[in-house]
Each structure stands twice: as structure tokens, then as C-alpha cells.
């Protein structure tokens, strides 16, 4: 009789432990999905911001009185190219969204996204900083005569500061997501 009672209690405890494991698994999945959704939302914001920058760059060039719009078109082409690169990185991130419990694939996809994003920022700095400095010095007199020199300098410096802050924030989000995926993998190994 005592043995039978112990078996029943053991079965009840086993079922409770299984239920708890399922609940913990769902909680961990939710954490990963929330962080992934946050990165996806952030990328939508970045794409929208890129689209808004295009008319601003064109307006700033036209207001400065440039007769040769080649430099503006080069700048616009740079913005568009980096926007397309951002869309490519965003598509990589969307693949991670549908990981369906395959954490190794999700982790590989996030690593690929991080590399693409890091390379994108590096290329942007390599292209944009020299381009802006060159335009600033080449068209300094035009900016002065149009009264936009300080506005232009402040916009350039503000954009540079914003992208550095944004880079650090974005990389932090990616690291947090990778950490959550690693923790979820460790949790699954324990089962």
C-alpha cells in the first residue's frame, strides 16, 4: 500500500515537473521572440528614416545653390545603396523570426545579421565621412553665401553622433538576442 502511494505521488510530481518544463520553455521562447520583434521594429524605423533622409539631402543641396547636382546625386546614391543593404540585412533578420524551435539555425542567422550590419556600418563610415568632409570643403563658399554653413556642419556632426549611438545600441540589442538564444540552448540541453 505504501509503495502504491509513493508511485502515485511520484507520477504526480513527474507530471508537475513536465508541466513546469513546458512553461519554462514557453517563457524562454517568448523572451527570444520579444527581443527579435524589437530588432525587427527597430529595422522598420531605420528603413523609414533612410527614406526620409533622401528628400532632406536633396533639399539641403538645392538650398545651398549648387549648380552642379552631381555631388548631391552621389550622396543620394550612397543613401539608396546603404538603404538597399539595410533591406538585405533586414531580410536576414526576418529569417530568424521563423526559427520554429531550431535554435542553431536562429543563432547562425543572427550571427550573419550581425556581420552584415557591422560591415554595413563600417562601409557607411568609410564612404560617408570622406564624402561629407569633401563636400563641406569643396562647397564651403556656397554654404557660406547661402547661410547654411553652420546648419550643414551641425547636421553632419549630428548625423555622425546619431549613427555612432545607434550603432552601439543596435549591437547591444543583437548581443542581448544572442545571449537569450544561448541561454535557451543551455536550457534545452538540461532537459
Query: DSSP labels for 107-142?
Result: HHHHHHHHHHHHHHHHHHHHHHHHHHHHHHHHTHHH
Q: Are 89 and 117 in contact (CB under 8 A)?
A: yes
> Rounded distance, CA 54 to CA 81, Å?
11
Q: Is residue 136 situated within a structural domain? A: yes
Q: Is residue 55 situated within a structural domain? A: no
Instruction: Tell me how far CA of residue 14 lies from CA of 7, 8, 23, 150, in angstroms.
Output: 10, 10, 14, 71
pLDDT of residue 171: 85
Residue range(s) defining the domain that contains residue 73:
68-182
pLDDT-derived band of residue 123, with 50, 70 and 90 as boundaries?
A: confident
Q: Is residue 60 situated within a structural domain? A: no
pLDDT, mean of residues 184-188? 74
Asked whether the predicted pLDDT for residue 61 surpasses 70, the reply is no
User: For the chain, how many structural domains are there in total?
Assistant: 1
Asked whether the predicted pLDDT for residue 146 surpasses 80, the reply is no
pLDDT of residue 45: 78
Q: Is residue 54 situated within a structural domain? A: no
pLDDT, mean of residues 53-58? 76
Q: Is residue 53 situated within a structural domain? A: no
* Side-chain-side CA neighbours of residue 129 (13 Å): 10
Q: Is residue 139 situated within a structural domain? A: yes
Asked whether the predicted pLDDT for residue 69 surpasses 80, the reply is no
pLDDT of residue 108: 83
Q: Is residue 103 situated within a structural domain? A: yes
Amino acid at each position: 500500500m505504501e509503495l502504491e502511494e509513493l508511485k502515485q505521488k511520484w507520477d504526480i510530481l513527474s507530471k508537475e515537473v513536465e508541466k513546469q518544463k513546458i512553461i519554462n520553455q514557453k517563457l524562454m521562447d517568448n523572451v527570444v521572440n520579444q527581443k527579435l520583434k524589437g530588432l525587427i521594429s527597430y529595422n522598420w524605423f531605420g528603413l523609414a528614416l533612410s527614406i526620409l533622409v533622401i528628400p532632406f539631402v536633396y533639399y539641403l543641396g538645392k538650398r545651398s545653390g549648387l549648380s552642379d547636382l552631381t555631388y548631391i546625386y552621389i550622396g543620394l546614391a550612397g543613401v539608396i545603396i546603404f538603404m538597399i543593404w539595410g533591406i538585405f540585412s533586414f531580410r536576414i533578420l526576418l529569417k530568424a523570426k521563423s526559427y520554429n524551435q531550431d535554435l542553431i539555425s536562429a543563432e547562425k542567422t543572427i550571427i550573419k545579421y550581425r556581420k552584415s550590419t557591422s560591415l554595413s556600418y563600417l562601409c557607411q563610415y568609410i564612404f560617408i565621412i570622406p564624402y561629407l568632409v569633401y563636400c563641406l570643403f569643396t562647397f564651403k563658399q556656397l554654404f557660406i553665401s547661402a547661410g547654411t554653413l553652420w546648419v550643414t556642419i551641425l547636421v553632419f556632426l549630428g548625423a555622425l553622433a546619431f549613427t555612432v549611438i545607434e550603432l552601439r545600441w543596435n549591437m547591444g540589442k543583437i548581443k542581448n538576442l544572442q545571449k537569450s538564444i544561448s541561454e535557451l540552448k543551455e536550457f534545452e540541453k538540461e532537459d
